Amino acid sequence: MAERLAVKKTYKLYIGGKFPRSESGRSYQVSDAKGRFLANAAWATRKDARDAVVAARKAYPGWSGATAYNRGQVLYRVAEVMEGRHAQFVDEVAAGEGVARGKAEKLVDEAIDRWVWYAGWSDKIAQVVGSSNPVAGPYFDFSVPEPTGVVAVLAPQRSSLLGLVSVLAPVIVGGNTAVLAASLERPLPAVTLSEVLATSDLPGGVVNILTGRVGDTAAWLAAHMDVNAVDLAGAAGDAEHARQLELAAADNLKRVVRAPEAEPEWTAEPGLERITAYLETKTVWHPVGI
Amino acid sequence: MTKFEYAPAPESRAIVDIKSSYGLFVNGEFADPVDGSSFKSVNPATEEVLAEIAQAGHADVDAAVQAARRAYDRVWSKLSGRDRGKYLFRIARIIQERARELAVLESIDNGKPIRESRDVDIPLVAAHFFYYAGWADKLRWAGAGPDPKPHGVAGQVIPWNFPLLMLAWKIAPALAAGNTVVLKPAETTPLTALLFAEICQQADLPPGVVNIVTGAGETGRLLVEHPGVDKVAFTGSTEVGKQIARSVAGTTTKATLELGGKAANIVFDDAPVDQAVEGIVNGIFFNQGHVCCAGSRLLVQESVYDETLARLKRRLTTLRVGDPLDKNTDIGAINSHLQLARIRELAEVGEAEGAQRWSPECELPDRGFWFPPTVFTGVTQAHRIAREEIFGPVLSVLTFRTPAEAVEKANNTPYGLSAGVWTDKGSRILWMSQRLRAGVVWANTFNRFDPTSPFGGYKESGYGREGGRHGLLAYLKAED
């Protein structure tokens, strides 16, 4: 019997819960670690980046206004669906990162477990970083964390799934919405993750994923006046690019998570820094009296 | 209504001893600036020159940063948290001992009523040092990891509206966390910071742990851009805050920025009107409106607009504008000629754009910088007086019909520092406070501050918090 001819996937953008091609109509070749053709990925442009910000802003009231319990449930559901795509993630990580299958399996396991770890923070972070403040007067005064808004994320260039999860999950668990620019050379796990997100009860627009050259979209995201924060993880190792993006981010005082000198391994257990980086502290006062 | 006249009740200024000139406080001693230049600090209520103040240049800022680095390396980073705390407790106590002197000096240099400097500013300054003193030996409980570390040398630049209080907000948490500091007070209000330098000497604080460099904006720029500074903290305008954010781009320097605001003070139809009117007055006329979190946009529900405005205007006729040292004064002097010009300009723009201007009849002194309490009605969201921070005793009044409209209007600004809500309905307070994009929400009160209470902005009002455990985190890092 002849071998069955596979049905190949078209790798597209993920904006507002839909899978458009780039408005430019362009794509670029994605190869495996040995240079063999894997797929044509969409080449996102400034227009796609702006559309993604609009979608993220539109999704913000609903997602930030959802209960923490509900956000936790949705994010846990994402991990469940990731588990179902385990084999596909392993294929893509092994091909893109050029690691052995066993190593790729470990990376995918860790990525799913990390997503679960972050999911659990949704209804706990406020208790850890919030406070009741004993002011010297007849007032009840408390501080609560709130999401900062729309966050632009430059995903790590090397770690295509574990790194991706490590920067994306902490943004949305706090109630923010995200526009993520995937790794240029290793974008396939990000596209597959977008398909997971689309089938996990995550409202459209909460996460938007762009593939293509970070240079084509990052500058627009960093300068966009309706973006509230930016994670420069994907600019690790390119200090001048990171500095330019931070300069652009100052125009509306975005919260900036700086790029490290070199991309970390992402295997160490994360702290709360990436969650709290996108949280504002709101303090509410009310008099006490009869 | 009978109106009682008050006899003058001036606080004596004999308690303060203002020198004719002041040097820079570097490495525990007062020193003249290298190039010998200086500027004058003026009493804004009389235009009398108070003192010649040293103008720190490049070499002076460099010397101060080096002194702070030496003090950090050799003394302060080696001291136990317990001992750092004891120094801060000493400072808190000396501030209490010299409270009256500090209050009088603050009112002379800044123009704020003695009632406020005596009852608000200086007590809060002492409380702030007291609060953070207690943190110094408890840092591992602050939430920055089991063994948190200070950044090193902090460069701090503060504004003129609450001179000594802003100094306390900056220096107390920085020192408790184990940093040393170089602080630049505002050009027009350096005197209490220089008296604080003397207090550091009285407390035997090791030389170089606190350094005070005086000067204008250029001195501040030299300080925040100095490569020896590990941590920048700034309170002031959003424009300068953005410059600072740019200047630290691409470095490892951390910045916290506490910037401008255009707060909405929202009055619902079920609010207790008299309390709300007091809150409106406190919100915008406290400290002559020189408050970044001032309630400068009053949003009144349409159904109670007439009554609220009538009562507000009646209340404003009882405000006493004049001598800051008079204990009966409610509104003191505008801090500087420059600020007065800015307020006048925006008030004129308000009229030109079609809003109706109203002030109670009040006699202003002949000399000094004064602006009467002013209310603009018929203001729309497009008017500059509804969008720009005036930083003066000028209130813009807008109306709304529904809670959703109030939220929409309140959030329609690039700023997000504070907001006020007045209503008797508890569920509405919480509903509103969840939706207002502002770092502080005062419900049925306004302009309350406390060392335990985090303060700071959303959006272009800056980032980072001051006060409470959150304020301490700005001066700590999880590891080296």
Chain A contact for B477 (CB, 8 A cutoff): no
| Helices marked H in B136-177 | 163-177
pLDDT at B188 over 80: yes
B302 shares its domain with B382: yes
Q: Do B434 and B323 belong together in one domain?
A: yes
B142 to chain A: closest CA residue? A129
Mean pLDDT of chain B: 97
Strands B149-150 and B210-212: unpaired
Same domain, B222 and B281: no
Residues in CB range of B478: below 8 A, 6 or more apart: A271, A273, B144, B145, B148, B149
Residue A234's alpha-carbon distances to A31, A93, A262, in angstroms, are 19, 17, 10
| Chain B environment of A239 (Cβ under 8 Å) | 250
**B206 pLDDT more than 80:** yes
Burial (0-12, 13-18, 19+ Cβ within 10 Å), B401: exposed
B460 is catalytic: no
**A267/B contact by beta carbon, under 8 A:** no
In this prediction, does ipTM exceed 0.95? Answer: yes
Q: Does B411 touch chain A (CB under 8 A)?
A: no
Question: With an 8 Å Cβ cutoff, are A285 and B438 in contact?
Answer: no
Q: How far apart are CA A57 and CA A64, in angstroms?
A: 11
Q: Does A87 touch chain B (CB under 8 A)?
A: no
Q: Would you call A239 and B470 a contact, using CB atoms and an 8 Å cutoff?
A: no
Length of chain A: 290
**Which range marks the domain in which residue B310 is found?**
264-443
Interface check for A138 against chain B (CB to CB < 8 A): the answer is: no
Residue B108 lies in a domain: yes
The residues, any chain, with a CB within 8 Å of residue B141's CB and separated by 6 or more, are none
**Rounded to the nearest 5°, which phi and psi values hold at B463?**
-145, 160
HEC letters along chain A: CCCCCCCCCCECCEECCECCCCCCCCEEEEECCCCCEEEEEECCCHHHHHHHHHHHHHHHHHHHHCCHHHHHHHHHHHHHHHHHCHHHHHHHHHHHHCCCHHHHHHHHHHHHHHHHHHHHCCCCHHHHHCEECCCCCCEEEEEEEEECCEEEEECCCCCCCHHHHHHHHHHHHCCCEEEEECCCCCCHHHHHHHHHHHCCCCCCCCEEEECCCHHHHHHHHHHCCCCCEEECHHHCCCHHHHHHHHHHHHHHCCEEECCCCCCCCCCCCCCCHHHHCCEEEEEEEEECCC
Q: Which residues of B touch A240 (CB under 8 A)?
A: 250
| Burial class, B185, CB count within 10 angstroms (exposed 0-12 / middle 13-18 / buried 19+) | buried
Residue showing tokens 């975005």: A254
Chain B interface includes A249 (CB < 8 A) = yes
Would you say residue B201 has pLDDT above 60? yes
Q: How many Cα atoms are found within 13 Å in the side-chain-facing hemisphere of B440? A: 35
Question: Which residue spans within B347-434 are E strands per DSSP?
Answer: 356-358, 374-377, 394-400, 418-422
* Euclidean distance between CA atoms B385 and B375, whole angstroms: 11
What CATH number is attached to the domain comprising B374? 3.40.309.10
Going by the DSSP 8-state scheme, the letter that residue B224 receives in this structure is H
Distance of CA A249 to the CA centre of its chain: 18
Q: What is the mean pLDDT of residues B39-66?
A: 98
Position B5 in a domain: no
pLDDT of B155 reads 98
Query: In the numeric block, which tokens belong to residue B40?
Result: 């004058």
CB contact A289 to B (< 8 Å): no
- Other Cβ atoms within 10 Å of B426 Cβ, number: 10
Give pLDDT tens digits for B130-170.
Answer: 999 999 999 999 999 999 999 999 999 999 999 999 999 99
pLDDT confidence bin for B5, thresholds 50/70/90: confident
Q: Pick the residue of B411, B458, B465, B479 with the most A CBs within 10 A to test the interface with A by mutation.
A: B458
Report DSSP state, residue B292: T
Q: Per-residue pLDDT averaged across B53-78, rounded?
A: 98
Q: Which residue of B has its CA nearest to A282?
A: B439
Confidence band for B480, pLDDT divided at 50, 70 and 90: low
Q: Is B438 on the interface with A (CB under 8 A)?
A: yes
Same domain, B328 and B463: no
Say which of B11, B187, B258, B466 is annotated catalytic. B258
The per-residue DSSP string of B304-318 comes to GHHHHHHHHHHHHTT
CA distance B452 to chain A (A): 6
Statement to judge: residues B71 and B214 lie in one domain = yes
DSSP assignment letter at B365: P
Could you tell me if A260 lies within 8 Å of chain B, comparing CB atoms?
A: no
Q: Which residues in chain B have Cβ-Cβ distances shorter than 8 Å to A249?
A: 245, 249
Domain match, B347 and B432 both = yes
In this structure, are B273 and B218 located in the same domain? no
Report the residue of A132, A142, A143 to disrupt the B interface, i.e. the one with the largest count of B CBs within 10 Å.
A143
- The pLDDT score that the predictor gives to residue B4 is 72
Beta-carbon contacts of residue B251 (< 8 Å; ≥ 6 apart): none
Does residue B1 surpass a pLDDT of 60? no
Looking at B156-254, list the stretches that DSSP marks H as alpha helix, in order from N- to C-terminal side: 163-177, 191-202, 217-224, 238-247
Of residues A143, A148, A258, nearest to B470 (C-beta)? A143
User: What radius of gyration, in Å, describes the C-alpha atoms of chain B?
Assistant: 22
pLDDT, tens digit, for every residue of A2-41? 799 999 999 999 999 999 999 999 999 999 999 999 999 9
CA distance B246 to chain A (A): 5
How far A239 CA lies from chain B's nearest CA (Å)?
7
Query: In this predicted structure, what is the pLDDT of residue A214?
Result: 75
Residues on chain A touching B245 (C-beta within 8 angstroms): 246, 249-250, 253
Q: Which residue is it, tokens 């009882």? A: B318
A67 touches chain B (CB under 8 A): no
Proportion of chain B above pLDDT 70, given as a percent? 99
A238 touching chain B per CB within 8 A: no
Whether the full predicted model's pTM is greater than 0.95, yes or no, is yes
* Residue B3 reports pLDDT greater than 80: no
| Contact in structure between B385 and B396 (CB atoms under 8 Å) | yes
| Cβ–Cβ gap B250/A282 under 8 Å | no
Contacts of B242 in chain A (CB under 8 A): 250-251, 253
Residues B61 and B86 in one domain: yes
Residue B312 lies in a domain: yes
Residues A118 and A130: their CA atoms lie apart, in Å, by 18
CB contact under 8 A, A285 and B414: no
Which member of B252, B429, B456 has the closest CB to residue A286? Answer: B429
Number of neighbouring beta carbons within 10 Å of residue A125: 21
Question: Does B46 share its domain with B129?
Answer: yes
Please check whether residues B249 and B308 belong to one and the same domain.
no
Distance of CA A287 to the CA centre of its chain: 40
Give Cβ neighbours of residue A50 (< 8 Å, ≥ 6 apart).
A220, A224
Does residue B13 lie in a domain region? no
Same domain, B285 and B190: no
Mean pLDDT of the region B296-311: 98
Structural domain includes residue B210:
yes
Contact criterion met (CB < 8 Å) for B458 and A148:
yes
The pLDDT of residue A124: 98
Q: Between the CA of residue B317 and those of A167, B348, B357, B362, what are the distances in Å?
A: 57, 22, 15, 8
Phi first, then psi, for residue B306 (nearest 5°) are: -60, -45
The contacts of residue B398 (CB under 8 Å, 6+ apart) are B297, B298, B299, B300, B379, B380, B381, B386, B409
Residues B17-44 have a mean pLDDT of 96
Residue B104 phi, psi dihedral angles, 5° rounding:
-65, -45
Q: Which pair of tokens denotes residue A31?
A: 């190869």
- Whether residue B93 sits in one domain with residue B42: yes
Residue B15 lies in a domain: no
Residues 3-22 of chain A whose Cβ lies under 8 A from any Cβ of chain B: none
Report yes or no on B12 lying in a domain.
Answer: no
Hey, what amino acid is at B166?
M
C-alpha of B210 from chain center? 20
Total structural domains in chain B?
A: 2
Residues in chain A predicted with pLDDT less than 50, given as ranges, are none
- Is B428 part of the contact surface with chain A (CB cutoff 8 Å)? no
Helix (H, G, I), strand (E, B) or coil at B94: helix
Fold of A38-287: Aldehyde Dehydrogenase; Chain A, domain 1 (3.40.605)
Measured between alpha carbons, how far is A45 from A38 in angstroms, rounded to an integer?
22
Residues of chain A found within 8 Å of residue B462, distances taken between Cβ atoms: 253
Q: Rounded to an integer, what distance in angstroms lies between the CA atom of residue B370 and that of residue B347?
A: 14
The whole-angstrom distance between A90's CA and the closest CA on chain B is 34
- For residue B479, the model assigns a pLDDT of 76
Tokens representing residue B436 in the block: 């207002």
* Residues A120, A131: Cα–Cα separation, whole Å: 20
- Please report, for the domain that includes residue B238, its CATH number: 3.40.605.10
Hey, CA dihedral for A183, A188, A193, A194, is it positive or negative? Answer: positive
Residues 6+ apart with CB under 8 A from B218: none
- Rounded to whole angstroms, the Cα distance separating A206 from B421 reads 30
Per-residue confidence (pLDDT) for residue A213, from 0 to 100: 86
